[in-house]
Amino acid sequence: MASVIASYSSYEFMRVSSPATHVAHVEMNRPLKLNAFSRAVWLEFGRVFRQLSEDADVRAVVLSGAGDRAFTAGLDVSAASSEGPLSGQGGGSDPARRAKALRGHIGEFQECISEMERCEKPVICVMHGIALGLAIDIACCADVRLAARDTRFAVKEVDIGLAADIGTLARLPKIVGSASWVKEVCMTARDFSAQEALQVGFVSRVHEDKAGAVAAALGMAARLAEKSPVAVQGTKELLGWGRDRSTAEALRYTAVWNSVALQAGDLPAALASVFTKKTPTFEKL
Amino acid sequence: MASVIASYSSYEFMRVSSPATHVAHVEMNRPLKLNAFSRAVWLEFGRVFRQLSEDADVRAVVLSGAGDRAFTAGLDVSAASSEGPLSGQGGGSDPARRAKALRGHIGEFQECISEMERCEKPVICVMHGIALGLAIDIACCADVRLAARDTRFAVKEVDIGLAADIGTLARLPKIVGSASWVKEVCMTARDFSAQEALQVGFVSRVHEDKAGAVAAALGMAARLAEKSPVAVQGTKELLGWGRDRSTAEALRYTAVWNSVALQAGDLPAALASVFTKKTPTFEKL
Amino acid sequence: MASVIASYSSYEFMRVSSPATHVAHVEMNRPLKLNAFSRAVWLEFGRVFRQLSEDADVRAVVLSGAGDRAFTAGLDVSAASSEGPLSGQGGGSDPARRAKALRGHIGEFQECISEMERCEKPVICVMHGIALGLAIDIACCADVRLAARDTRFAVKEVDIGLAADIGTLARLPKIVGSASWVKEVCMTARDFSAQEALQVGFVSRVHEDKAGAVAAALGMAARLAEKSPVAVQGTKELLGWGRDRSTAEALRYTAVWNSVALQAGDLPAALASVFTKKTPTFEKL
Amino acid sequence: MASVIASYSSYEFMRVSSPATHVAHVEMNRPLKLNAFSRAVWLEFGRVFRQLSEDADVRAVVLSGAGDRAFTAGLDVSAASSEGPLSGQGGGSDPARRAKALRGHIGEFQECISEMERCEKPVICVMHGIALGLAIDIACCADVRLAARDTRFAVKEVDIGLAADIGTLARLPKIVGSASWVKEVCMTARDFSAQEALQVGFVSRVHEDKAGAVAAALGMAARLAEKSPVAVQGTKELLGWGRDRSTAEALRYTAVWNSVALQAGDLPAALASVFTKKTPTFEKL
Amino acid sequence: MASVIASYSSYEFMRVSSPATHVAHVEMNRPLKLNAFSRAVWLEFGRVFRQLSEDADVRAVVLSGAGDRAFTAGLDVSAASSEGPLSGQGGGSDPARRAKALRGHIGEFQECISEMERCEKPVICVMHGIALGLAIDIACCADVRLAARDTRFAVKEVDIGLAADIGTLARLPKIVGSASWVKEVCMTARDFSAQEALQVGFVSRVHEDKAGAVAAALGMAARLAEKSPVAVQGTKELLGWGRDRSTAEALRYTAVWNSVALQAGDLPAALASVFTKKTPTFEKL
Amino acid sequence: MASVIASYSSYEFMRVSSPATHVAHVEMNRPLKLNAFSRAVWLEFGRVFRQLSEDADVRAVVLSGAGDRAFTAGLDVSAASSEGPLSGQGGGSDPARRAKALRGHIGEFQECISEMERCEKPVICVMHGIALGLAIDIACCADVRLAARDTRFAVKEVDIGLAADIGTLARLPKIVGSASWVKEVCMTARDFSAQEALQVGFVSRVHEDKAGAVAAALGMAARLAEKSPVAVQGTKELLGWGRDRSTAEALRYTAVWNSVALQAGDLPAALASVFTKKTPTFEKL
């Protein structure tokens, strides 16, 4: 996969490696800024996940932050203050015209982060160190979340005077069972620990440190990458469709989807391997 | 805020005080009846929350029951037996005509309780003592739920021969993660403890006694009241919208909402305070 | 109820008994095959729950697997390989025509399992021993889930090369609070224990062994069967409707539903029993 | 019904008469201002339709404008310029705070007009003379629309610099078949004639003049008022529910609704009248 | 197709013939009763359309009434008065228990009529003579409606004291553009003519008499039966799915559906025929 | 606007001119191929409408085909046969893998055409000459449709063996009132005339020839371009949102949208012009 990964070498803020077959590891790579996001960063973030989604060599993705200090500290506030519609410059002569610029700005930002959710391959997100504000918006777009014990989480936006608008408020309540907890952390902006994130089901497991969490994520990704991509990606698609729809609609879509997925070579290959006890191999998807 | 609170002095069953700046404390105040609800009570309940929603001096609300024995024992069964369509008097000469009266009755009752959910300010509900039947319908309309250790909870309606119809069955499954638990407590009508309520995520925290829980709620309310009302109320609005809609719809609504919310003075004021380390003050909303 | 149960004696794969008044116990009864499902089995499964739903003598249902080894091992893979569209025989001369056959096949299978969800009486599912693949699809259609300590759970479908299509992916995320956990177990196909199932809220309680879990389920069923069937079945209906709809739609439907349900004799009978302290009896429904 | 109508005598801008048994005729009664709407007018409009909805003596309603010149010229622009948030006075110190005031203002206005749609009795709207802007928002809330030949219609809002926000854009596309026509008249703000309104199905019939249209509407109302109120009001309810929901949801709601409506005395009374050829009488609803 | 049609010979109230290759003609066949529907009739109606849906030899269906006098006069009122829950016999000791019986009754009736909508082949409905009440519910489930000039249409239910509950109120507003017209005919129960049905778009064409309309329908069916069944049935499926869903959902479902439909042999066969000018033949579906 | 239009000069298949202030005229410009669409064409089509949407100098858009013979003949079948997944080359080793390629292909094609619907400025589509297949998908994305008398329309896809998948089946039923007509033309693939298109409301007006229709469209566009862009674009946005949502959701979104739109300078400017009788000018949006 080395040659493939070469095609990811042009990103400035996203470091992509392939520590195992069919596994891509994306690191938000701006450690001196605690991996904070300026517009250039989120545009790249969107692009890298679009590419990963279409790359038939990739079957599972791990996301983490570069460096020891932060997953990401969220929005790069100083950049936001000097560029774009939040800087207070330009953007229209009346509130309606400024609103149009702001809608465009927020919409673009949302789209870039949502690319990770739309990525057709499973994405495992490793949270560690500082994980504030946008960190939660991003994590909500992953499929599985793991955390290092030292992670400091917060839905921080209220403390800088705004309601979180890149996805946390739309997605977190559907990810975590306790609405009381969701509302509390979103409205108070208070920190919460990895242990608390585990208890409410936001993350699936807490590991001793970042290294341990990354290793666990890569291990899970490697196992996923060995399985039928028709089965794994179909599972992601159907869970995603079902989240926002009624059971009846989800069942019908499932039947239509599987009416062709079951014609893949993966089903007989996987069934055969059950009897032969050999690991099956599956074609690219 | 004293002068403001004066405007709440005319309620008979709702006692409203303001223990901290911009914080209102509502007590269901009919302790001799274990704070049970007759029609007069729920009409007042609706009115007080409509007023709180529109009152720009109020930024956070705490709800509890007056007295030591009960949050509320629920419907005032003896009042219901002697007035209104449940009393078996009047209400139409055939089942369809009685049904119309009952629909009107249930609809009005639902509307009054739903006013707490529609209140644009965060509402923290402190549960304690007896908390049966309607108590759960009410608590489901709050944003955050805290409990005293001695709370005795039950979705009690099945035991008086009816399915809960003031909101529990519509809201509880979206508030708590375990559908198996929800169905069990709703169908068996069995009691459950504060500890169990915590474990399933119905309440966010259990306190030693009512006093401790109220103090914690008032503390949380005071902290919320110090934050940007544009940010806090926007967060409540967007979480409420998102609960019943798809992610795509929630994201778009968020962008439209924030396209004007970000033009508030709150954002620069809050940002400035991050650097100056001073508590910002925010204008009324 | 003996005479009634006689009407269930013609099933080949479903054993139906009545261990308590108004309680039916259904056992998937193919223990030599670990209660695996061929097409004949799921057709019977649908039929038995349709009959139970319409049987006014039945007020609560318990489902378990016959024998000590398995709740169910899921799809009978060897049967699937030799009959029906998965066998690779017949089913159309091109992928679109095979897809039509597969849609019909999956749709029929979904319909049969969904009959348990549509059953108007509460269904308590006791999971024990092997509970793989289809076992989870089935359990997701129950109202309450209990487990024996030894249960071995897995959403196993990915390991045989397909996305689960009989309901797990549509229902599990609405049954369990942690989306991270749901995605992990659905994509990795890994085993999970009864303890883990309890922690995430998939099951309500873990019992020492199958016998203990069945006894607990039958006890709960007996208690449900003593309550007003108008109240219990209404509660099930309203929770089911609410799951897939907005709060506003659920509240309105509730008001319409209860506008006639409150005209039952159950409400005065139950209210009277509160005062007389006698167990009320309720008419058939 | 005379005594009943007396209870409508306190309205200032709404004249209510009862030209036939169980029929109410509401006239927007501010002819010197071409029946234009200030805030006081729309608050009354909401109140009168709430009262009509609850008044068991009323079974059908006709709405028209007082005087010869106008159904209504829409918003009272001069009043709007000197009061309320459109006047540019007060309303908050920044765009977000002004937006809150405007949301409240628009929401209240929408609610008042929507009361006509929510009115449980059929409403026949007679359009005549000038019918601009708000006239269309109002007409969209009626069940049946008739027009005088001279009616001058326009969705006029674009010409005063805003998108129509009291309901036209939400309802007109669901009332009229041609989306191309809807978009054209909403975006160009051009006038259209009664004949054109008939051709696209916005109105059901065009009459020679206002008198003829009112007479036709009162005749239709009188016929509706002779029919079973359970049947007529149920039909309105079910058409209203179905408009915004899927067929499956509408069918289920219909079955639940009629499960009690069919227990009315109206069904046997109406059936009997088919055989006896006598006009049945129906109890109040 | 003769042999195939033999399999339809056991119906008592439905006469099925095959006047052209792959075309089935269903006649509601109870002319002495004006083709009115008792329970036995609607159960057969459901069964025959289920069979037609699954019959790979059938590619298009025409529905009409037997005899010269009626498409159908609707519900067989005398049968309804002497059997089933409308007869006033049995059905429970209180309104809630009678409601349960009625829900079951209405639900079964709806299901049977909806089978025509669910039929995967296009259904052309020929309306003629008397077409009252249930006639409209049935016609709303067809794909295309043609009428003879003499047809007498009415949504008649209000005149027998109930709101139409077998589908007209759920479907008619989505079939016809003018909501004003729909509400008028549904609430007044007045007759309307074929010409009026054409003008509002309820029927596609009016023919001189029943014979002419049936001939036109059979001609259209024959043309449909010559086309690719993958294309025709896919078109029906996608239009049906889209009716109740947002554009975004419809587009995605369309892409998933066609991702396998385009792998049929029909596409190359049809394309080839464009060049060769020969009528293509398509395999069964 | 000349300088602006220069920025559109690089398109190969789309010719963009500006015949009036703030008006853009887009011509599909491949007349020798009857303006048929290969992949290169639809990619450009998407790009040009994205650019027009963001271009603050453009306030209204007209779309037509270049040349006298065709609006567009639809898909370029010969190009489709030699490139992309319809060519039968490549695209995966089994039906599931080919399906993935086809989903991607259809999805991209849909996205490009949908860009015209998403364009924030009103789009008037002039149909003329040949307008087959994709021509209808495209026209469904416009706001207003005009036609020349000679237009030959058909939803042609069934005749080449597939169900239309670029939007016709999702959008046409919401654009035209008669479902019977929609199903007939979509399933039979028959031609229909401009006159018929007018009668069912698919187009708003029929003009003598293409020149007349284009002139009328440009005139309408010029009038739209003189109006407040806040009002016109807001109207488009709100009609678009409302189409796929319930009335309640549309009303709320409208209130939020207008809470900032009403703060534009357009409202006072337009109001002032009503009194001064001068044409107002509005700032760019």
The model's confidence at residue B89, banded by pLDDT at 50, 70 and 90, is: low
User: How many CB atoms sit inside 10 A of residue F32's CB?
Assistant: 9
User: How many CB atoms sit inside 10 A of residue D28's CB?
Assistant: 26
- Which of F249, F253, F259 is nearest residue B260 as measured by Cβ atoms? F259
CB pairs under 8 A between B and C: 169
- Partner A contacted by F93 (CB < 8 A): yes
Percentage of chain E lying above the pLDDT 90 cut: 88
For residue C154, the distance in angstroms to the closest alpha carbon of chain D comes to 33
Is residue F249 pLDDT above 70, yes or no? yes
Q: What Å distances lie between residue E165 and C90, D143, D237, D267, E189, CA to CA?
A: 42, 19, 12, 14, 14
Cα C136 from Cα B245, distance rounded (Å): 27
Judged on CB neighbours under 10 Å (0-12, 13-18, 19+), E273 is middle
Enumerate the residues of chain F whose CB falls inside 8 A of the CB of residue B256: 253, 256-257
Enumerate the residues of chain D whose CB falls inside 8 A of the CB of residue C259: 260
Cα F116 from Cα B245, distance rounded (Å): 26
Residues comprising chain F, all counted? 285
- Which of C158, C170, C181 is nearest residue A232 as measured by Cβ atoms? C158
- Which of A249, A253, A259 is nearest residue E260 as measured by Cβ atoms? A259
Cβ–Cβ below 8 Å for B189 and C246:
no
* Cβ(F122)–Cβ(F236) below 8 Å: yes
Cα E114 from Cα D270, distance rounded (Å): 27
pLDDT value at position C83?
Answer: 76
Is residue A106 pLDDT above 60, yes or no? yes
- Which of B245, B253, B260 is nearest residue F260 as measured by Cβ atoms? B260
The model's confidence at residue B4, banded by pLDDT at 50, 70 and 90, is: low
- Partner B contacted by F256 (CB < 8 A): yes
- Partner C contacted by F248 (CB < 8 A): yes
Measured between CA atoms, the residue of chain B closest to residue D100 is B285
pLDDT value at position D85?
Answer: 74
Enumerate the residues of chain C whose CB falls inside 8 A of the CB of residue E97: 230, 264, 283-285
Is residue F91 pLDDT above 80, yes or no? no
pLDDT value at position C30?
Answer: 97
Q: Across all residues in chain B, what is the average pLDDT?
A: 95
pLDDT value at position A53?
Answer: 97
The model's confidence at residue A3, banded by pLDDT at 50, 70 and 90, is: low
Is residue E39 pLDDT above 90, yes or no? yes
Measured between CA atoms, the residue of chain C closest to residue D245 is C249
pLDDT value at position D104?
Answer: 96
Is residue B270 pLDDT above 90, yes or no? yes
Cβ–Cβ below 8 Å for E95 and C266:
no
What are the pLDDT digits (tens) for D117-162? Answer: 999 999 999 999 999 999 999 999 999 999 999 999 999 999 999 9
- Partner B contacted by D265 (CB < 8 A): yes
* Cβ(D140)–Cβ(E145) below 8 Å: no
Cα D84 from Cα D105, distance rounded (Å): 8
pLDDT value at position B3?
Answer: 53
Cα C210 from Cα B215, distance rounded (Å): 46
What are the pLDDT digits (tens) for D199-231? Answer: 999 999 999 999 999 999 999 999 999 999 999
Mean pLDDT confidence for E110-115 = 98
pLDDT value at position E92?
Answer: 78
Cβ–Cβ below 8 Å for D183 and F228:
no
Alpha helix locations (H) across C28-178?
39-54, 77-82, 95-118, 134-139, 168-175
What are the pLDDT digits (tens) for A29-65? Answer: 999 999 999 999 999 999 999 999 999 999 999 999 9
The model's confidence at residue F102, banded by pLDDT at 50, 70 and 90, is: very high
The model's confidence at residue F175, banded by pLDDT at 50, 70 and 90, is: very high
pLDDT value at position E157?
Answer: 97
The model's confidence at residue B279, banded by pLDDT at 50, 70 and 90, is: confident
Cβ–Cβ below 8 Å for F260 and B257:
no
What are the pLDDT digits (tens) for B5-61? Answer: 789 999 999 999 999 999 999 999 999 999 999 999 999 999 999 999 999 999 999
**Ranges D71-85, E29-43, F41-55: which has the least confidence:** D71-85
**pTM confidence score:** 0.96
The model's confidence at residue B87, banded by pLDDT at 50, 70 and 90, is: confident
pLDDT value at position E226?
Answer: 97
Neighbours of chain D (3+ CB pairs under 8 A): A, B, C, E, F
pLDDT value at position E84?
Answer: 74
* Cβ(A1)–Cβ(A25) below 8 Å: no
Token readout for F278 is 């001068």
What are the pLDDT digits (tens) for C181-202? Answer: 999 999 999 999 999 999 999 9
Is residue E85 pLDDT above 90, yes or no? no
Mean pLDDT confidence for A71-93 = 82
Q: Rounded to the nearest 10 degrees, what angle do helices C247-261 and C229-243 cross at?
A: 160
pLDDT value at position D3?
Answer: 53
Cα E86 from Cα D262, distance rounded (Å): 8
Torsion angle of C-alpha atoms C172, C174, C179, C182, degrees rounded to 10: -10
Neighbours of chain B (3+ CB pairs under 8 A): A, C, D, E, F
For residue C108, the distance in angstroms to the closest alpha carbon of chain F comes to 22
Cα B273 from Cα F180, distance rounded (Å): 64
User: How many CB atoms sit inside 10 A of residue A32's CB?
Assistant: 9
pLDDT value at position C274?
Answer: 83
> In a structure prediction context, what are the per-residue pLDDT tens digits for chain D, which is 285 residues long?
555 678 999 999 999 999 999 999 999 999 999 999 999 999 999 999 999 999 999 999 999 999 999 999 999 988 888 877 777 655 678 999 999 999 999 999 999 999 999 999 999 999 999 999 999 999 999 999 999 999 999 999 999 999 999 999 999 999 999 999 999 999 999 999 999 999 999 999 999 999 999 999 999 999 999 999 999 999 999 999 999 899 999 999 999 999 999 999 999 999 898 888 898 999 999
Q: What Å distances lie between residue C95 and B14, D153, E231, E271, F208, CA to CA?
A: 68, 55, 14, 18, 48
pLDDT value at position D125?
Answer: 98
Neighbours of chain F (3+ CB pairs under 8 A): A, B, C, D, E
pLDDT value at position C55?
Answer: 96
- Which of D254, D261, D271 is nearest residue E170 as measured by Cβ atoms? D254
Cβ–Cβ below 8 Å for C180 and A174:
no
Cβ–Cβ below 8 Å for F245 and E246:
yes
pLDDT value at position C81?
Answer: 82
The model's confidence at residue F4, banded by pLDDT at 50, 70 and 90, is: low
User: How many CB atoms sit inside 10 A of residue B164's CB?
Assistant: 28
Is residue E204 pLDDT above 60, yes or no? yes
What are the pLDDT digits (tens) for B175-222? Answer: 999 999 999 999 999 999 999 999 999 999 999 999 999 999 999 999
Measured between CA atoms, the residue of chain D closest to residue C255 is D257
Cβ–Cβ below 8 Å for C259 and B100:
yes
Cα A212 from Cα A203, distance rounded (Å): 15
Is residue F73 pLDDT above 60, yes or no? yes
Cβ–Cβ below 8 Å for E262 and F102:
yes
Enumerate the residues of chain D whose CB falls inside 8 A of the CB of residue C257: 256
Enumerate the residues of chain F whose CB falls inside 8 A of the CB of residue A96: 230, 260-264, 266, 285
Enumerate the residues of chain C whose CB falls inside 8 A of the CB of residue A237: 163
CB pairs under 8 A between C and E: 53
The model's confidence at residue A216, banded by pLDDT at 50, 70 and 90, is: very high
Token readout for B168 is 């529990």
pLDDT value at position F71?
Answer: 98
Cα C182 from Cα C168, distance rounded (Å): 10
Cβ–Cβ below 8 Å for B170 and C250:
yes
Is residue F220 pLDDT above 70, yes or no? yes
The model's confidence at residue A205, banded by pLDDT at 50, 70 and 90, is: very high
pLDDT value at position A270?
Answer: 93
Chain centre to alpha carbon of residue A129: 17
Measured between CA atoms, the residue of chain A closest to residue C160 is A270
